[in-house]
Amino acid sequence: KNEVEQSPQNLTAQEGEFITINCSYSVGISALHWLQQHPGGGIVSLFMLSSGKKKHGRLIATINIQEKHSSLHITASHPRDSAVYICAVRVTTSGSRLTFGEGTQLTVNP
């Protein structure tokens, strides 16, 4: 079983919908990252969080340390949000390493 599991693997939404992507992990972590991979392949870090909630524009990331679960929410989704969203965790015993989920492919249709 992977240490980081994302759901769903694929998600299709209509423009304007509220979107939730989930990330569950099975190990102790010091931080969790959310990244976005554009259709062209480039990867951008969206959030790094170790507790609570962070917001940037229409994106909101939350983490529940006790439940070992994080969610990425997108409000008022837009076709330009179409991308792969990747969850990654810094395992407490792994030093500098991040362990990545397989990603969630999001498609937002106009």
- Under DSSP, the state recorded for 37 is E
Q: Which residues of 83-92 are buried (b: 16+ CB within 10 A; e: fewer)?
A: bbbbbbbbbe
- CA pair distance 41, 44, nearest whole angstrom: 10
Angle (nearest 5°) at CA 95 between 89 and 101 = 20
Q: Does 41 bind other proteins (CB under 8 A)?
A: yes
Using CB under 8 A, pick the residue from 21, 25, 32, 33 that binds other proteins. 33
Q: What is the dihedral of CA 11, 38, 44, 6, to 10 degrees?
A: 20
Q: Does 99 bind other proteins (CB under 8 A)?
A: yes
Q: Does 48 bind other proteins (CB under 8 A)?
A: yes
- CA pair distance 101, 8, nearest whole angstrom: 12
Nearer Cβ to other proteins (70/77)? 70
Using CB under 8 A, pick the residue from 12, 20, 45, 51 that binds other proteins. 45
Nearer Cβ to other proteins (49/60)? 49
* Distance of closest approach, residue 80 Cβ to other proteins, in angstroms: 18
Q: Does 31 bind other proteins (CB under 8 A)?
A: yes
Q: Contact residues for other proteins (CB under 8 A)?
A: 2, 4, 30-31, 33, 35, 40-45, 48, 86, 88, 90, 95-103
